[in-house]
């Protein structure tokens, strides 16, 4: 399968959320990541949304 660009991936994500629901997609994405990847991504969201959970 060819690699998709960011816009194409966001469209696929929207479709997947419409089919499975946001909670299921989020849980499956988290399970697919290593511990380090999950932490990096959670820290990114924490910084972007200013939740200060990792401070």
pLDDT in tens, 1-55: 899 999 999 999 999 999 999 999 999 999 999 999 999 999 999 999 999 999 9
- pLDDT for 14: 98
For residues 26 and 23, give the distance between their C-alpha atoms in angstroms, rounded to a whole number.
5
For residues 22 and 16, give the distance between their C-alpha atoms in angstroms, rounded to a whole number.
8
DSSP-assigned letter for residue 5: P
Helices (H), the chain: 6-20, 22-32, 35-49
The token pair that represents 55 in the structure block: 């401070």
- pLDDT for 13: 98
- pLDDT for 1: 87
For residues 21 and 3, give the distance between their C-alpha atoms in angstroms, rounded to a whole number.
24
């Amino acid at each position: 399968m060819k690699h998709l660009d960011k816009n194409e991936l966001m469209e696929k994500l929207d479709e997947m959320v419409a089919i499975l629901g946001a909670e299921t997609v989020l849980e499956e994405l988290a399970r697919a990541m290593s511990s380090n990847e999950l932490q990096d991504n959670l820290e990114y969201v924490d910084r972007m949304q200013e939740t200060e959970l990792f401070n």
